[in-house]
Structure 1
Amino acid sequence: MQIMHCGRVVVADNREYDADVIAPSAIACGDKVPGPDGVPTATAIPRGLETDEMPALIQEFAQAAKNARAAGIDGVELHCASGYLVHQFLNSRSNQREDQWGGAVENRIRFPVAILQAMADAIGGNRVGFRISPGNPYNDVDVNDPEATFAPFLKAANDLGLAYVHVVDMGLEGLEALSMIRDNWSGPIITNNGLKADSANAILAAGRAEAVSFGRAFIANPDLVERIRDGVALAKPDYTKLYTGEAEGYIDYPRAGE
């Protein structure tokens, strides 16, 4: 089960309750986010977290990990990607704090490392993974020199005895994500993003990752495993239907031959 927090990436009308929108700093996300009808909408201006709030917030993630285990989930993955709260702390555009949680890279990585440590303490590090997306501009993230942030983060996380790192490989020029991770992380790697059967197999055969994952392809192909096994072409997702409802565009794709 992936555990995440939107942080500042919030459209108020998407929620049926009043609550603080929190972030590292009181800086709104510059990108629009789909509202209730799927139309891109300006996000709320967040409240910057106070220093004394941080320990309790970290423990909320640990409690979420405990709740997952109590519900029968085998393990959890901390979402540190795609411009959401943990990524907001990692990124200098959204994190302009002047305390120990912001500024220099060793301070900006402190929040995700502290969460991972708390989750590992709560349910065991072998049941905790985390997801990153170096160089991903989604949700108004500064992509300048992502290795300068993620290499120290990986080195710090490497000491926690965690299960894996899960990377959204953006395929950027100037950043060989899988090599950068291998240089700074000794545990298993799961890679993701735009993979097909042949490209996924090539990565595994070369030992560049221990596993691969599929996201959008799984939405458009309810029989993805069978299609890969049998060499059947993959269907493509209909992006016009994303964020516009419940079932349509998510669970109404046919299986091969239907």
Structure 2
Amino acid sequence: MSNALWNPTTVGEIPLPHRLAMAPMTRNRSTPEGVPTELNAEYYAQRASHALIITEGTQPNPDGQGYLLTPGIYTEDHITGWRKVTDAVHKADGRIVIQLMHAGRMSHPDNTPHHRQPVAPSPVQPAGETFTASGLQEMPVPRELTTEEVAATVEDFRRAAAAAIAAGADGVEIHGANGYLLHQFLATNTNQRTDPYGGSIDNRIRFAVEVATAVADEIGAGRTGLRISPGNPFNDIAENDTHDLYPALVRALAPLDLAYLHIGNHNGDDDLLHTLRKLWPNTLILNRAGTDITTRAKDIEDGIADVITVGTMALANPDLVQRIRTSAPLNTPDPATIYGGNEAGYTDYPTHTT
């Protein structure tokens, strides 16, 4: 393995001992009230040898919850729960940022604390079903956020970022990918608004830029990251202007001096990836899901990425960093235990013994 992967770096205000980070992964193991538990603390602490842990998506307000048993970061109880996690990670010499994720239309009233209709840029019903306590259900037509509610949601992200720092996190990542609320504002099939947040590219990127600006103002740009997934059709997203949209978004974000841009599934469009790399002035974190670690590390050698993230490899191998360093075999993840449950398939993956 190339030495480039193991070179220290600094991401905004966060010093990293190497460049192999843990990607955000929903695990559905918080309390029904969205409070992280001692089990969550154990899970993340086990993986503290990663250069940086990016947590599972965490809702910034009650409307933001899309799935059962996902954590929140907008009440004092949430802050107390997350403090257990961050303390455990820091005790294990790790670094952790909390991902702020508003699910938008990818939700169901049964999965939220207030049981209200999901909200979105426009009342466009997503295809497919979602898991609820009573089984699979069709997701309803969402309610369109008013212009005033969009501004209020920006402030909810600001408050959630402050709460994350109060909980001991080293920073936050704003989830602008995978078909959730920020991505819904970006995409033409989910954003049919006629106010200043819809229509033109400048209008469709406005919400993402305002959220990033608010969070950076609140906790510092050096502790703020943003994740995008250009062209990713996940969660019934269709983008028809990706090569214009994302360069415009990155140009608008660049002056904010954020700690990093995290590019997830970019639908295999390396031409666009290279364009965004040239436009982005700070750390670029890249996740090439489904590829081996050698392929991912080459992106660092080639200057495409500064840091790489891994998901299921980190899920199944708490000591992934040491395994890669020593060329040890990797555990195979159990797909049946990824979403929900107890310690099985969560904190009981074995470490490698030599």
Question: When the two structures are superposed, what TM-score results if normalisation uses the length of structure 2?
Answer: 0.68
Is 2:332 aligned against 1:236? yes
1:143 to partner: Cα distance: 4.0
CA distance in structure 2 between the partners assigned to 1:149 and 1:74 by the alignment: 30
Percent identity among equivalent residues?
39
Q: Equivalent residue for 2:130?
A: 33
**Matched letter for residue 228 of structure 2:** I
Q: Which of 150, 167, 180 is matched with 1:71 structurally?
A: 167
The Cα RMSD (Å) is: 2.0
Q: Which of 292, 302, 308 is matched with 1:212 structurally?
A: 308
Q: Which of 117, 142, 159 is matched with 2:255 structurally?
A: 159
**Range with bigger deviation, 231-240 or 100-109:** 231-240
Q: Which of 84, 93, 111 is matched with 1:14 structurally?
A: 111
Unmatched runs of 5 consecutive residues or more in structure 2: 1-97
Q: Which has the higher contact order (CA 8 A, sep 6+)?
A: 2
Is 2:191 aligned against 1:95? yes
Q: Equivalent residue for 2:208?
A: 112
1:238 to partner: Cα distance: 2.5
1:235 to partner: Cα distance: 2.7
1:80 to partner: Cα distance: 0.1
Q: Is the Cα–Cα contact under 8 Å of residues 189 and 239 in structure 2 kept in the other structure?
A: no
CA deviation digits over 1:75-105, x for unaligned, max 9? 1110000000111001111111111101111
1:182 to partner: Cα distance: 1.5
1:222 to partner: Cα distance: 1.6
Give the secondary structure class of the aligned counterpart of 2:256.
coil
Task: Describe the shift of the 1:252–1:177 C-alpha distance in structure 2 as closer, same or farther (beyond 3 A).
Answer: farther
Q: Is the Cα–Cα contact under 8 Å of residues 128 and 163 in structure 1 kept in the other structure?
A: yes
Q: Which of 274, 277, 286 is matched with 1:191 structurally?
A: 286
Q: Is the Cα–Cα contact under 8 Å of residues 259 and 282 in structure 2 kept in the other structure?
A: yes
Give the secondary structure class of the aligned counterpart of 2:123.
coil
CA distance in structure 2 between the partners assigned to 1:135 and 1:175 by the alignment: 11
CA distance in structure 2 between the partners assigned to 1:180 and 1:213 by the alignment: 20
1:68 to partner: Cα distance: 1.1
Q: Equivalent residue for 2:102?
A: 5
CA distance in structure 2 between the partners assigned to 1:176 and 1:248 by the alignment: 41
**Matched letter for residue 109 of structure 1:** I
1:239 to partner: Cα distance: 2.4
Task: Describe the shift of the 1:68–1:203 C-alpha distance in structure 2 as closer, same or farther (beyond 3 A).
Answer: same
How many residues are matched?
A: 256
Q: Equivalent residue for 1:179?
A: 274
Give the secondary structure class of the aligned counterpart of 2:278.
helix
Q: Is the Cα–Cα contact under 8 Å of residues 36 and 244 in structure 1 kept in the other structure?
A: no
Task: Describe the shift of the 1:144–1:232 C-alpha distance in structure 2 as closer, same or farther (beyond 3 A).
Answer: farther
Unmatched runs of 5 consecutive residues or more in structure 1: none
Question: When the two structures are superposed, what TM-score results if normalisation uses the length of structure 1?
Answer: 0.91
Q: Is the Cα–Cα contact under 8 Å of residues 154 and 185 in structure 1 kept in the other structure?
A: yes
**Matched letter for residue 278 of structure 2:** D
1:230 to partner: Cα distance: 0.9
**Matched letter for residue 21 of structure 1:** P
CA deviation digits over 1:11-66, x for unaligned, max 9? 333335423411001112113233347x6532122110011222211111011111
Q: Which of 47, 51, 54 is matched with 2:150 structurally?
A: 54
CA distance in structure 1 between the partners assigned to 2:290 and 2:132 by the alignment: 26
Task: Describe the shift of the 1:241–1:225 C-alpha distance in structure 2 as closer, same or farther (beyond 3 A).
Answer: same
